[in-house]
Amino acid sequence: MRKALFFIVLFAAFFSSKLFAEVKTLRIAKQYDIGYLPLFVLDERKIFEKNAKKAGLGDIKIEWFIFSGGAATNDALLSGNIDLNTNGIPPFLILWDKSNGKIKAISAYDSSRYLLNTVNPNVKTIRDFTDKDKIALPAIKVSVHAILLQIAAFKEFGEHDKLDHLTVGLKHPDAFIALTSKKSEVTAHFSSEPFSTAELEHENIHTVIDSDDILGKGFSTSVISTTDKFYNANRELISVFLKSLVEANEWINTHSARENAELYLKAANSSESVELIEKILAQRSDVKYTIKPTDISFFSNFLYKTGVIRSKPTQKELFFDEVFKDDYK
């Protein structure tokens, strides 16, 4: 009996130490725009670290990796250089398909409207673009902006890739500089906030089309994804992370646009004015933060129809079960 008790204690001690040793650093990708505000709040206020320690997971740090677009974050997750991937729906769907469903989303995290802005006064609709125009977006052919442009092109021309030859891949900050400098070949930018509103502060820039015009409704802009191997080995950690993300959203919703703007600018080390960010957060009702996903079938249907992905998934196939629990708002 004493011997059996010894092995039980040893077994428990082993798994307890294994729990603490499993993950000491959580590696997460992020990019540049207001959609990432919940992650900035999470980081600045150390919400996850606090909750991880409270849950008995020990001292876990988050290491953030900055990427320019979804293709780069996909490669990082596939190569094992990050644990959690953050990107737009189309790059995620491509990753899900490429991994044969072994990579899924643990949550959504934001919803907002994307604007295609231009400095070309002759461009009133996407039909007006010519070979003299260059349209900047985060990643050609795979970013949410690129796919939105393809959907718009299919509706307008019956050819989804009609405008692809005009697109160039640029980080949002670089695209903003290119569009507003008057010294670049870039004449348009399919942008995210705060860059879209900042561009419209320039009187020679106007909006050609936006994501609501293209899709007719709001949608989950981005998701956080991981491998089934990491998810299954770290169920409690994922649960703590999601609860921490909900807490970050609650902080956003219970604090003023000014406070959110100040936190964003500090965390993102961004050069925009606090008045601009405050204006976006106060006036753009389409900018929403929630971990619950909305219907994204229009993206999966389009990518399947155009042969980018090999199978057409249901919503349930794309997400791990954890996010659908009633525990999360």
Residue range 127-146, pLDDT digits in tens: 999 999 999 998 898 888 99
Q: Which amino acid is it at 277?
A: I
pLDDT digits over 133-188, tens only? 999 998 898 888 999 999 999 999 999 999 999 999 998 889 999 999 978 899 99
326 — pLDDT class (breaks 50, 70, 90): low
- What is the residue-wise DSSP string for 284-301? -TT-B--SS----HHHHH
Q: Which of 48, 45, 41 lies closest to 27 in space, CA to CA? A: 48
Given a cut of 70, whether residue 17 has pLDDT beyond it is: no
Predicted local confidence at residue 327, as pLDDT? 66
Give me the domains of the chain, ranges plus CATH numbers: 2-111+220-324 (3.40.190.10), 115-215 (3.40.190.10)
**Beta strand 188-191 pairing with 115-118:** antiparallel
Question: Phi then psi for 63, rounded to 5 degrees?
Answer: -110, 120
